Amino acid sequence: MNVLATRGVKVPHSLRRNPAILLSYATVAALFIAGTLYTSGFGSANNIRTLLLQASFIGVIGLGQTLCILTGGIDLSVPWTLTGAAVLTSILANGDASRLPEVLALVLVLAVGVGLVNGIGVAYAGVPPIIMTLGTNGALQGLLLVYTQGGISSFPPLALNRFVLDRSLGLQNQLWIWIGVVLLGIVLLSATTLGRRLYAIGTNRNAAYLAGINVKRVLVIPYVISAVGAAATGILLMGYTGQAFLTMGDPYLFASAAAVAVGGASILGGDGHYVGTVAGAMVLTLLSGLLLLFSLGTGYLSIAYGGVLLVAAFLASLKLSRR
């Protein structure tokens, strides 16, 4: 019980004094200022809304990834969970808005199943998270390619597109959804027993077990949340773009993990917060926008993502060696 009590004190405190989180928000400000200085249109209200919309997809999928990384794991199945949710919704609804509720319910139930497979494999079978989730990602890719025969001819209902982009109280509904996810992440990690248990497991799994935590059962939860978040992101992204395609989830493999790392979380687990991931999502989106301004290809963005993860791994190994 001492482990949980200690984490309960430190989590809110870390939001005020975690230098990595503060640095990530300083980076957001620096990148935004750089873009505004380069071109005045970068700081326009329309461009800010566009940047926030693009960051919101990384942000929504980043909540589950944050929870997985806090426990010392990672979810590499997000690309094809995202793609599968979008493609299945598009095919099953087939442009008919009246079918959306039942289709969305089915897709989210399937996402829970994907999360349970990952979580049970990691927690109960002892499969390393990288191997388990990468295997699931490959299996989902194969199943989807067989199901669609390598192509998609349907389009999502127009009502979904309108819902994502329509405004309520001056903001697009997609941004309100992200605000809700942000509030959920803050409450979950700062004010719930589950949040304290996730930190405890990530800090020291054996100590968490001795403190009375059902480690295996708790470890399943982040992977279920991650799969549901990836599926929801796929559906929302399809509404934003107006179509589903078989490569739509590829950018989010690195983006979701890089956002967590940029936000100051340790990839070894036990340290970080979703508040940092929010900043990480905005940093990655601003980087992408600046690359377009400087007429640089997306390859440079991939280099940036890979560099962020390598630096995060290096810093985490240094921290581990000092323990």
Mean pLDDT, rounded, of the chain: 87
Q: Write out pLDDT tens, residues 240-299.
A: 998 888 889 998 988 899 899 888 888 888 888 999 999 999 999 998 888 878 777 667
At residue 59, the pLDDT reads: 95
At residue 153, the pLDDT reads: 65
At residue 253, the pLDDT reads: 86
pLDDT tops 50 at residue 1: no
What is the reported pTM?
A: 0.89
At residue 238, the pLDDT reads: 93
Per the model's pLDDT, the better-predicted residue between 229 and 253 turns out to be 229
Per the model's pLDDT, the better-predicted residue between 290 and 3 turns out to be 290
Helix intervals (H) in the chain: 2-17, 19-38, 45-70, 78-93, 100-123, 129-148, 158-165, 173-191, 193-203, 205-210, 215-241, 252-262, 274-293, 298-322
Confidence of residue 165 (pLDDT cuts 50, 70, 90): confident
At residue 40, the pLDDT reads: 79
CB atoms near residue 113 (< 10 Å): 12
Structural domain boundaries in the chain: 2-314
Q: Write out pLDDT tens, residues 207-228.
A: 999 999 999 999 999 999 999 9
Confidence of residue 41 (pLDDT cuts 50, 70, 90): confident
CATH topology of domain 2-314: ABC transporter involved in vitamin B12 uptake, BtuC (1.10.3470)
Q: Write out pLDDT tens, residues 200-212.
A: 999 999 999 999 9
pLDDT tops 50 at residue 6: no
Question: Mean of the pLDDT values across residues 75-104?
Answer: 92
| CB proximity list for 118: less than 8 A, separation 6 or greater | 75, 77, 129, 132, 133, 136, 223, 226, 227
At residue 23, the pLDDT reads: 85
- Dist. CA 67–CA 262, nearest whole Å: 15
CA angle 192–209–119, rounded 5-degree value:
70
